[in-house]
Amino acid sequence: MTKIHIGIDIGGTSIKIGFIDQVGQIIHKWEIPTRKEESGIHIVQDIRDSIVEKQIALSIDDNQFVGIGVGAPGFIDHKRGTVHAVNIGWTDYQLKQCVQEKFNLPVWIENDANMAVLGENWRGAGNGEENVMLITLGTGVGGGVIANGELLRGESGAASEIGHVTVERNGVTCNCGREGCLETIASATGMVRQAKETIDKHPQSHMAQFYRKNKAISVKDLFSLAEQGEQLSQQIIDNTTNVLATAIQNMATLINPSRILIGGGVSNAGEALLKPLRDKFIAKALPRISKPCELKSAELGNDAGIIGAAYVVLVHSK
């Protein structure tokens, strides 16, 4: 009888759920919408209902389930089992207790980026290294770190939050309430903001014409325009990779990793993002930091979080 670890990755738009075996192979995976109304009160029940439905459809016995790992955005207090996630509406929400009550199974919770770095290091690009950093570039900027083989959490669960290091004095206000966070520049949201500010300053530019024609502009559009030789788009990419490389080399100086993995939607640009980022990281970092360190794309995509969550169950249920 196959033992199954339930991996859950709660996001602001969707919740990814997977049934995963003991070697990290996904038996079945799916997504449900994240219902954020009423301060996210429906989320845990929605997860419960969806899992029960899949369990019945796949004829899985209750005894096959080992436990549940849950990755959530925001700040995780492991001592209390709570989550503070502004984008979902949770304030010190008792996530661990709520999930345990719904399932009567052991439950472990982690920050979503922490789950992702564990997943990448178990079954993806981390390849089981002892010192690994993962930077996720999506709507926001997240970070997860494995140092000396152990997940780095910190005293209050706020370790590795690279998205909230200050990179611009008197910069744009971040969702966290502070100014000039890395997230305001290097996220998809930050890059689009830079584009709109540039369009306002250069209304006759090719970028501005593109925006007026399409009534929108995305990160993918910026890389496409830059590839076609559009200089303003290239300047945004250059600024973003310069700021990001500075933040990464600062963090790498503290951690001294052998691998830095770049994930999230922005990383879909591939080498158009990674090459200038890698070059700038090498130029900025101490040689003893950069030489033993490989900067590369993460490999698991949207599956990293649920695989990392399953890994947490595996480790703690032994």
The residue type at 118:
L
In this predicted structure, what is the pLDDT of residue 277? 98
Residue numbers in the chain where pLDDT is lower than 70: none
- pLDDT for the residue 116: 96
pLDDT at 315: 95
pLDDT of res. 75: 86
Strands 141-147 and 150-151: antiparallel
Please tell me the predicted confidence (pLDDT) of residue 78. 84
CA distance 150 to 145: 8
Beta strands (DSSP E) in the chain are 4-10, 14-20, 26-33, 65-72, 75-77, 82-85, 90-93, 107-111, 132-137, 141-147, 150-151, 259-263, 294-297
The percent of residues above 70 in pLDDT, for the chain, comes to 100
Q: What does the pLDDT read at residue 139?
A: 85
Rg (CA), the chain: 20
Report pLDDT for 12.
Answer: 84
Q: CATH classification of 129-298, choosing from 3.40.630.30, 2.40.128.20, 3.40.50.800, 3.30.420.40?
A: 3.30.420.40
Q: Report pLDDT for 132.
A: 98
Q: Residue 76 forms beta bridges with which residues?
A: 83
Residue 104 tokens, joined: 């009567």
Q: Name the residue type at position 135.
A: I
Residue 63, burial from CB neighbour count under 10 angstroms (0-12, 13-18, 19+):
exposed
pLDDT score recorded for residue 279: 98
Pick the CATH number of 4-119+302-316 from 3.40.50.2300, 2.40.50.220, 3.30.420.10, 3.30.420.40: 3.30.420.40
Q: Kindly report the pTM of this predicted structure.
A: 0.92
- CATH 3.30.420.40 placement within the chain: 4-119+302-316, 129-298
Contact 71, 9 (CB under 8 A): yes
Angle between helices 231-255 and 188-201 (to 10 degrees): 140
